[in-house]
A = this chain, B = another copy of it.
Amino acid sequence: MGRKRTKPGKIRLTEVAELAGVSPITASRFFRNPEALSLTKRVRVESAAKELGYVPNLAARALASQRTEVIGVLIPSLTNNVFSDVLRGIYDAVDGSRYSVQLANTRYSILQEEKLLRLFLAQKPAGLIVTGIDQTPESRSIMESVDCPIVQLMETGPDPVDMMIGFSHSDACRAAISHLFAQGCRRIGFLGARMDPRVQRRFDGYVAIMKEASLYDPRLVVTTPLPTSVTLGGALLADLLTKAPDTDAVFCANDDLALGVLFECRRRHISVPEQMAISGFNDLEFMASAVPTLTSVRTNRYEMGRDAATMVIEAIEGRRPEQRVVDLGFTVMERQSSMRRT
């Protein structure tokens, strides 16, 4: 004999089936596809399960069925407010479904992402949500050869692996710069920290529109690979003003930087927006209540997470969405920090 037998107190599917007077396989079906049972058996199994307090053993289920009910989520950071909003959306959509979330943090490394991807896929997740469209070629081909639904998050672009939900960072940045143009700003600086692919694309949008207006000047650009922070926003503005003292506006690649810029302007007695217009990006909650209120680009982060999870779940259950690529758009929230003409 192998080992000591199962602890007698343990409720297995067999016990439920016995109490309900059906075969184990029928009881099993009840939990996976109740409609397949006749009404009488369905009721009997249900009450038996409730009476015994049965909880399915997920490990056994996964082993026998070669599938799990786990949705893997790969995000680059847990700290960034942007991702916590996205995550909240994902968890809200997944809670209440039969699925659960397995979260992993790539720390902005696509090599780490590739590693985690392999790890996830070895456990046969039901679905996958990944951040961005800049996977390694290996990651890409791993994802393409896998048979679970995948959503790429945060950006839109050509050539989705499977599904995609996000918006155009480049266009969003262009819209913010256009707004600054309309306010009469010409020497518009670009501040960026942690140049991840999303920030890079915002930067591309900035360069393009500035060049189109023949206003591009490399001295107006200050970026750093350091992680973003409010303090850093102040430091980057200081750099910018050293390189280009005639700067009349700054586009900050995220809102933390914008807040830091606002504080730095106060410190230096630079009036906002008269001497310096400011635009942030993401429209975090505090932007609307700063003094002056801060212009930003609203992105639909919560919705992005929620809809991504919903798309994955629908696809798992065989209901593929009509459109594989969803653009959630953005809105330039024009506020005091950039309103020169009113």
Contact = CB atoms under 8 A, between A and B. Distances in A.
A159 to B, nearest CB: 28
A263 B289 contact: yes
Interface in A277-291: 285-286, 288-291
A335 to B, nearest CB: 13
A263 B290 contact: yes
A263 B285 contact: no
A105 B85 contact: no
A122 B291 contact: no
Interface stretch (A59-67, A149-157, A210-218, A240-248): A59-67
A88 B79 contact: yes
Interface secondary structure of A, over-half rule: helix
A332 to B, nearest CB: 20
Contacts of A256: 286
A39 interface: no
Contacts of A289: 229-231, 233-234, 260, 263
A231 B285 contact: yes
Contacts of A60: 59, 63
Contacts of A62: 59
Interface stretch (A96-104, A180-188, A307-315): A96-104
Contacts of A342: none
A78 interface: yes
B286 A230 contact: yes
Contacts of A103: 101, 103
A31 interface: no
B59 A63 contact: yes
Interface in A222-258: 229-231, 233-234, 256
Contact of A230 (B123, B260, B266, B285): B285
A194 B314 CA distance: 34
A95 interface: yes
A91 B103 CA distance: 10
Contacts of A118: 55
A88 to B, nearest CB: 5
A118 B243 CA distance: 59
A260 to B, nearest CB: 6
A229 B259 contact: no
Given A256-B286, A266-B291, A291-B266, A68 B59 contact: yes
B286 A267 contact: no
A153 to B, nearest CB: 16
Contacts of A95: 105
A85 B101 CA distance: 20
Interface of A: 55, 57-60, 62-63, 68, 78-79, 81, 84-85, 87-88, 91, 95, 100-103, 105, 118-119, 122-123, 229-231, 233-234, 256, 259-260, 263, 266-267, 285-286, 288-291
Nearest 9 CB-CB pairings of A with B: A59-B62, A230-B286, A55-B122, A231-B289, A266-B291, A59-B63, A263-B291, A78-B88, A230-B289
